[in-house]
Amino acid sequence: MNIHPSMQRFSTTTESSLQTFQSLTDIVLDATEQLIALNVGAARSLCAFASAQSLPVSGEALPNQMADRIAAQHQGLEQAAEYLRNVNEICLRTQSEVAEIGTRHINEMSSSMQTLFGEVAKLTPAAGLEMIATPASTRTTRKAA
């Protein structure tokens, strides 16, 4: 069975699109996995912070506990800032990878479609091309002459 070259090109383009979709899916799943790991780590830190908080036992221990709470809050803020930096890094890297794959796919599709249209144009009869290329006003003038 003979397959027309245009159909092979179309099939190759379709396969390329599916591979691009699979690559995008892998990128998104990887980013999701990283974000979930960050969220689990943040939840653990928050639970540890909450469990470390206790009521003062006596009035004498109050200054020491306040100093410990302030230090714990400072550490919590640092962890929150680190969490946000990590989330931002994951989002930027994912966006960059998606843009790179999207650009590459658009270039491949454009090249493939241009080649496909070129092959189809070669198969078109020359008379049909003259009818398309010649304006309607010129065709009616030729008939009148």
What is the average pLDDT across 42-66?
75
pLDDT band at 4 (very low <50, low <70, confident <90, very high): low
71 contacts 52 by C-beta, under 8 angstroms: no
Q: What is the pLDDT of residues 8-42, one digit of tens each?
A: 777 777 888 889 899 999 999 999 999 999 999 98
CA-angle at 70, arms to 64 and 72, nearest 5°: 100
- d(CA 83, CA 85) in angstroms, rounded, equals 5
Q: What is the pLDDT of residues 71-111, one digit of tens each?
A: 878 888 898 899 999 999 999 999 999 999 989 988 988 88
Q: Show the tokens assigned to 83.
A: 């969490």
- d(CA 109, CA 25) in angstroms, rounded, equals 19
Domain boundaries, the chain: 5-144
In sequence order, which residues have a C-beta less than 8 Å from that of residue 52 and are 6 or more positions away? 72
Q: Counting beta carbons within 10 angstroms of the beta carbon of residue 53, is it exposed (0 to 12), middle (13 to 18) or buried (19 or more)?
A: exposed
